[in-house]
A = this chain, B = another copy of it.
Amino acid sequence: MSSRGRPRTFSRDEALRSAMEIFWDKGFDNTSLADLTRVMGLNPPSLYAAFGSKAKLFLEAVDLYGRTDGAGIWEFLDDAPTAREAVHDLLKRSAENFTQWAEPRGCMVVLSAPQMEGGDTAVCDGLKARRLEKQVALQSRLERGVADGDLPEGTDCDAIAAYVTSIQHGMSIHARDGASRQTLMAIADCCAAGWDAMVAGVTTKAQF
């Protein structure tokens, strides 16, 4: 882009990754600029020149999270042969992902800024949009299951998508509270064990 001028002495990507990690751990509000400049290894003017503001840096960090640490959870969603396997895999990957390190545990998108009122609007809306995005992706996968024939006609994909994301979001709370991987796996297994009966039970339309 700009070859002229003094070159920056830090890696923008590495600094962003450091910012992502501390935002994930402490949340948006509880992470101060002093925290950020310390872990990123730069001074406030460099941070603002490179990222614009604390909120913009956070949104970039969330985007990085979605492309890296948070991506694996959703990798098998479209490749799974059936909707049932896709959902069970999603929850098992969530259980693994949310407990892979001592800290931070749980999903950054769920835990890092849940307060809509009084907080930064752009930050809250950005996270909310990402949550909705994944729920829509899941719903689309369920609808494909209906098209593929592994889910019955008239399956309430909207309700089931909300149900599954609810479990997944709740797993983040449990993980932050210290739940073991085994406990989170058990939650995923509960969902899987009741799956067929659940699908049959929330099928609204009559089948022909």
Best-surrounded residue of A104, A114, A118 (most CB of chain B within 10 A)? A114
List residues of chain B with CB within 8 A of the CB of A189: 159, 201-202
The smallest C-beta distance from A197 to any residue of chain B, in angstroms, reads 4
Interface range, A side: 35 or more
Q: A159-B189, A163-B191, A183-B159 are in contact. Are A173 and B117 (CB under 8 A)?
A: no
With an 8 A cutoff between CB atoms, is A31 at the interface? yes
**Considering the chains assembled together, what is the distance between the CA atoms of A157 and B30 in angstroms?**
36
List residues of chain B with CB within 8 A of the CB of A171: 166
**Considering the chains assembled together, what is the distance between the CA atoms of A183 and B187 in angstroms?**
21
With an 8 A cutoff between CB atoms, is A45 at the interface? no
With an 8 A cutoff between CB atoms, is A154 at the interface? no
The smallest C-beta distance from A105 to any residue of chain B, in angstroms, reads 9
With an 8 A cutoff between CB atoms, is A111 at the interface? yes
**Contact assessment for A114 and B111 in the assembled complex, using a CB-CB cutoff below 8 Å:** yes
Q: A169-B173, A173-B166, A177-B131 are in contact. Are A190 and B114 (CB under 8 A)?
A: no
List residues of chain B with CB within 8 A of the CB of A168: 170
**Contact assessment for A202 and B190 in the assembled complex, using a CB-CB cutoff below 8 Å:** yes
List residues of chain B with CB within 8 A of the CB of A25: 117-118
**Contact assessment for A115 and B111 in the assembled complex, using a CB-CB cutoff below 8 Å:** yes
**Contact assessment for A187 and B173 in the assembled complex, using a CB-CB cutoff below 8 Å:** no
A contact set with B: CB distance below 8 Å:
25-27, 29-31, 35, 103-104, 110-112, 114-119, 128, 131-132, 156, 158-160, 162-163, 165-171, 173-174, 176-177, 179, 183-184, 186-187, 189-198, 200-202
A-B CB contact pairs (8 Å), 17 listed: A25-B117, A26-B117, A26-B119, A30-B118, A103-B117, A156-B186, A162-B184, A166-B167, A166-B171, A166-B187, A190-B198, A190-B202, A191-B194, A193-B200, A194-B196, A194-B201, A197-B197
